[in-house]
């Protein structure tokens, strides 16, 4: 059975919020610059919709410096 147009619109408006709720790095709402170490509080759902902040010419990361350092 095809979805009703209202259901399609309702699901589309909550898609980004649902993604944020499932990813801890997005849920904390903070991004970091790999270049200078700057940090910025963000609305992750809005960033998914419209783009991530940039710093030092690059897109800021959802991974904290500690998380990046812990990678093999």
Neighbours of 60 (CB within 10 A): 21
Residue 71, Cβ neighbours under 10 Å: how many?
6
What predicted TM-score, i.e. pTM, was given to this entire model? 0.77
Residue 72 pLDDT grade (very low, low, confident, very high; cuts 50, 70, 90): confident
Give the C-alpha separation, 65 to 70, whole Å: 9
What is the reported pLDDT for 66? 92
DSSP state at residue 11: H
Which tens digits make up the pLDDT trace of 3-49? 677 777 777 778 889 999 999 999 999 999 999 999 999 999 999 99
Amino acid 52: pLDDT: 96
CA atoms within 13 A on the CB side of 15: 10
């Amino acid at each position: 059975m095809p979805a009703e147009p209202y259901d399609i619109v309702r699901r589309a408006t909550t898609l980004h919020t649902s993604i944020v709720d499932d990813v801890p790095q997005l849920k904390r709402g903070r991004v970091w610059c790999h270049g200078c170490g700057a940090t910025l509080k963000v609305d992750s759902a809005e960033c998914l919709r419209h783009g991530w902040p940039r710093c030092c010419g690059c897109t800021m990361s959802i991974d904290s410096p500690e998380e990046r350092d812990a990678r093999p």
